[in-house]
Every structure is written in C-alpha cells, then in structure tokens.
Chains A and B, each alone.
Chain A
Amino acid sequence: MTEGPLPFEEASVRALANGRLQEALRRAMTGLRTKRAEATSELPHFEALRDRAKQIKTHTLLHLDRYLEQLEAQVTACGGTVHWARDAEEACRIVVEICRRYGARRVVKSKSMLTEEIELNRALQQAGVEVMETDLGEFVVQLDGDRPSHLIAPIIHKRREEVARLFARHLGTPPDAPVELLTQAARAYLRERFLTADVGITGANFLVAETGTVVLVENEGNARLSTTMPRVHIALAGIEKVIPRLGDLGVFLPLLVRSATGQRLSSYVSLITGPGRQEGEGPEAFHLVLVDNRRTEILADGELRESLQCIRCGACLNVCPVYEKVGGHAYGWVYAGPIGAVLTPQLLGLERAAELPYASSLCGACLEVCPVRIDIPRMLVRLRWRTVARGIARPSERVAMRLVFWILASARLYRIASRLGRLVQRIAFGDRPIRRLPGILGAWTRTRDFPQLPPKTFRDRFRRRP
C-alpha cells in the first residue's frame, strides 16, 4: 500500500471514462437493487428486524469488553485458542507464527475483508507460505493481481470476457470459454489446493459470545471446505463482529443475506465451534485471531462509534449513486462505497482519506437500506467537520467559506453582497446566460449553466407588494 492521500478525484474521472466499467456497474447495481427490494419487501417484519439488530449491536458495543471475554472463554473451553492483535502487523505476525508452528507450506483462504485490510496475503507470502484465495471472485482477483472492488462481489468491475482471457493464460481454458467452463476450471484447480493445504484461513460474519462460535455465510462452499479439509483452521475477525447469543442469528442472518444478495438464505451457513472433536472430523486445531486495528479508538468515539455496527452486507454500495458511477477502486482502499467513506478515514487516518467524506451528495440512499440503520450521511458530515477542525481543508476554501459565513451571519452584509453580486453579473454577463465562471464555480459551468440573479430579490419584491 502506497502512502499519501488517496486520489479519489483522479480515480473517479478515470472510472467515468471507462465505458465498459460504467456498463458493468450499471447492470450489476440495477440487479442487486431489484433483488434486495424484492427480498426485503416479502418479509413483513423486516423493519422490525432492523430495529432489533440496531438494539443488539448498540448493546453489544456498549459491553464489548464483557462479550469479548465471554467469547474467549467459550472458544478456549471448546479447545480453540484465542489471539489478540492490536494492529495489522501483529495480526499478520500471529498468523505467520501459527503457520510456522504447524509447518504449513500451503494455505487456502476464503473471502475476508479483514484479511484484505491487514494485507495478510503479502505477509504470508513474505514468510514463504503459499496462499490461495478460494472464493471465485477473490481467486480471479488474485490471479490477475487486482484488488476487490465490492464488499461481497469482488469482481463486479470485471466482465466475463476478461475472466475468460485470464483463465486462458493461467488455467489453459479456451479464451472464449463460457461461464460454466470457467467455474469448472476454477473448481478443479482449487479442489487440488483444498486437498493439499495445511491451513485454512477464514474471516467471520459473526462471532457468538455465548457459544464461542464462528459464523460463516457464503454461497460457494469454499469456506466450508477451507474449514474442514486442512489440519488447522485460523479465523480472523475484527473485535466488533461479536454478537451475544446464538439466537441473535435469527435476526442477523435474514438481514445480512437479504440486504446483500437478495437471497432468502445463502447456500451455506457454517457454524464452527472449536476444532474437530475426534479424528477425521474437522481440523485438529482452531485459532481465532481478534483484531483491533484502531477499532477501540472508534469505539471510544461517541460521534462515529455507530460505524462499528456494520455487518458488511454491501447494500449501501449497491444503492449509492456515487459508487455506481465510480466503482470500488476509486475509493482507494479496501472498503468502498458509503461505508468505506466512513471507515477508511477512521482506519487509515483522516489526513490520508480526507476527500472520501466529501465524495457523497448526501442523498441518504445508504441510510435507507442499511440493515442496522447506520446514519452514514451524518457520519460523513461529522467527518467533514473534523476535516475543517483539524485544518486539513484548503486555505482558499477556508477563506471563501469564512466570507460566505460573514455574509450569511448579517442581514446587512447579506443585502450588500446581494447588490454587489447583481452589479458584477450585469457587468460581466449583461442578460446573457452564465456559461463560464472562474474558480471553483468553473466546475459547475463545465456542462451546466449557472442560474442568473434576477434584478430584485424576493425580499425586495415582498416589501413592495401592494
């Protein structure tokens, strides 16, 4: 990962100029929105589930210390080992050490955003361990040296033809192979990896405190294989993933799956509690790595704590008009879309991601669909407040906005500015439409006329009415 500010602006312009990407995004987003709308509307108590999920998440975060300790005790009682990682580096070191302890050469991995966040693959490769992504999308990303562009649909930016060409190069399929053949080829390739892997690494959709259970939600069965074939299972999860009771899944599973893909239930839901109980029944060892990586800072932050409630369903990305235009890569880091614009500045630091909270028209579509009702627009505005408060805003903007403030804070200055504006307009444009403006307003007039100031304001006209 390079240092320096994330270049959202340039990346968004590039994305907009990419016709194929535009088409792919439009098609995918339309499909996902429709499916979500259908799946949520057929559940009469869907709104009640959202309220309940919000309550559970709020409660759990308030007592996170207690639930994490309960989780650790339960995992340990079931024969597993819990590791605590303060940051990305420590988490990677722990996983590498576990792999070394078991003499692991080959690791299979199912989809996990957290492992992207901490760049686990790089750490394992540097330690001489071969890592194989087994989620089809992530597999494609890995083969292509690409990055995922969506929380749940990592190759939403890629077209079938691109994947066919990629597979032709790496797996020897015909360059125009149909989807069925491509998935078969991936399946055959990965099957051999599953059989020979020493360690399986997964993330976790939920961690159940009362039972010490890791819950994995997926459609391809690769997480199931990753947790049953290798000798060792390592699960990594952010500390915010814990929920109190097994019964809470009755709330979260329908919310997650219907919000994410519009399915009623995913093809697989795996509940994994500790290692296998006897020979030949699952892995002989189970390790859970609980990762902080700035999450306790977010937890301590009353204004932004709510963002830890995210269950990574991707619904906010799917309905976001900005995401639909720029795609996931434009956000510059692991988490894209509206929730990415909230999380990235907190996880990477506001200095590096100051532009992201501004990359939103604040239309509120994200809040409308969020299964745990995270007020994303409000978080974005609060992050903008911090950007200015910490002096990250451009000096020219600061001056301009101070001026706007002075004008708006005094009826007299407001009136003077309004007269002055009319004078300037008359000199510069006369009665002609305003097609070109200087400075920041020039961005408006690229493709849009600027509204003309009429001779009299409303207040002037109102005062003179009969």
Chain B
Amino acid sequence: MKPSLKYTLIALALALAIALPFGLEPRGYATRILCLVLLFAAMAQAWNIVGGLANQMSLGHAAFFGIGAYGSTILLVKYGISPWLGLLPGMAAGGVAAWLISLPTMRLRGHYFALATLAFGEVMRLVANTWGGLTGGPSGISVPFSKPGLAVFQFKEMRPYYFLMLAALLMVTAIFAGIRHSKLGYRLRAIRENPAAAEAIGVDTTRTKIIAAVISGALMAGLGTFYAQFQFFFDPDTVFSIPAISVRVAMIAIVGGVGTTIGPIVGALFLIPIEELANQTFSDQAAGLSQLVFGLLLIVVILAEPRGLLEIGRRLWRWRGRT
C-alpha cells in the first residue's frame, strides 16, 4: 500500500473515530460498546508486543491487568490517591510482575510457556480471592463515587470515557509501532525467526525478551486502571479471568492479525460487538450462557481452520486491505 494512501486512510479513520461519539447518545449503549472495543483493542495491542513481536503466546496477561486494576483502586480506597497517580505504581507493579515471570519462563516455548503464563494468571486470581484484607476477596472492590470529572477519572456519561480510551489505544498503538521499527523490534523479530542465529550476531535474547515483556505488562496494568474507573466495580474472577481477559485479548490479536499494528484494532472491532450481541441475546436466559457461546465459538473457529486463526485473520486482512 502506498504510504500516502495509508496515511490518508489513517487520518480518515481517526477523524471518524473522533466524530463518531457525537452522533450517538452520550450515555448510550452503543457508545459503551465502543468504549469496550477501544479498551480491548488497546489490551490486545499490549499483548501483541509479547504475543506478536516476541512470538510468545501468553495466556496469563490477565495477571497484569488485574494487578493494575487492583493497584490503583486499592490506593484510591485506602489512601484516597487519585487514579491518575495510582496508575503509575500499578504500571510499575505490572512491569515488575512481567519481569518476575519472564525469568523462569525464558527458555520455554509453545505449550510450556502458555502453561506457565496460564498458571500465573490463575495464581493471581487465587491470591486476590483469598487475600480478602487487601482486595476485598471474592466480593470484589468498588471505586468510590465522587463528583465526576477528569481529575478523579470518573464520568457520568460515556463520551469522556470514549475519548480517554481512544487516547489510550492510540498511545499503546504508537508504542507498538515504535517498537516494531526500532532496534528492539528488529531484535525481537530475529529472536522469533531464529534464536540461535540471533544470539550469534550479538542479540541478547534474554534481555530483549524481558524488555518486551515488561513493556507489555506495564501497559496492560495501566489499562486495568482504565477498566476499574470505567466499570466502578470488579472482583478477582472478572479481572483475572482466563476466558474473559487472557484468552480474549490473545484471540483478538490473533484473529485480527497477530504481529501487525492494525491487527488488534480490527480484531476488537470484529469480535467485541459479536460477543456483546451474543450476550444480549442470551444473558437473560442464564449465567454462563454467553461464556459458553464464546467457548463454542472458539472451538468451532479452530476446528474450521486448525491451520490457524491466523489464516482467518490473514484472509480477513486481505479482504479489508484489498491491496
């Protein structure tokens, strides 16, 4: 695709994204869905750094997400610290957690790595559930209501959230694209394609992977804070959830086109509205039905194209790009 065409399209998309909420109900359902689309696209983009650039399939990213969500919220509830400030320690904690989990999993590939990260996310969930004194345990934790405003990161309407989520998405995407074209990006690609050769020409594979993981974890944690301020209430089973967070962000990135910059955005635009539709149709029937449908969808998709969700992503991508 010619660069000038690409930039024009991006500018158009951006303009559309900015104008869109004004055409919709400010508190409306549609805007709310879009907020989720943006948030999950950002999360998938953060995952994409590890899952796409470094080619390590993490199924435990919910760990960082939950750490960020709980981090800022606990600071808010216990010490009255503004979520904007609470964002920072949360991100730091997410980064440290990513560093800690990277060290032992450095040499693992494929199934083993997925297993380790899955276990990590699960353990975080269990810890949050049992450490009631800190986290409120299974009953969850609430963001206390204050007068809405930017300073306290709370709003009555959806529209301000929309713009904040959009800003977050743009930032994470910018970081992703920046990495991709930087030294880090080249090194990650080398590691992905041939780790031995990469080492032989001077790439410090361990350090490179850790850096990617830390960035990804920190960003994910930051997005957890956004989520907390958006939803006002959450519990360990929600933010540390394997299917609802860990698997979902991986799936979004993979279906959209893992390793590409636009992939997570496309994936989110595609998957989140479908899921919400399913939720709406089924939620009044019983708890767990929408999740069931999600799981079935996952299975069906894989059985239909076992050679890869990537193939579907690629086909979708070609259809959308048409270049």
Is A bound to B? Answer: no
- B residues within 8 Å of A by Cβ? none
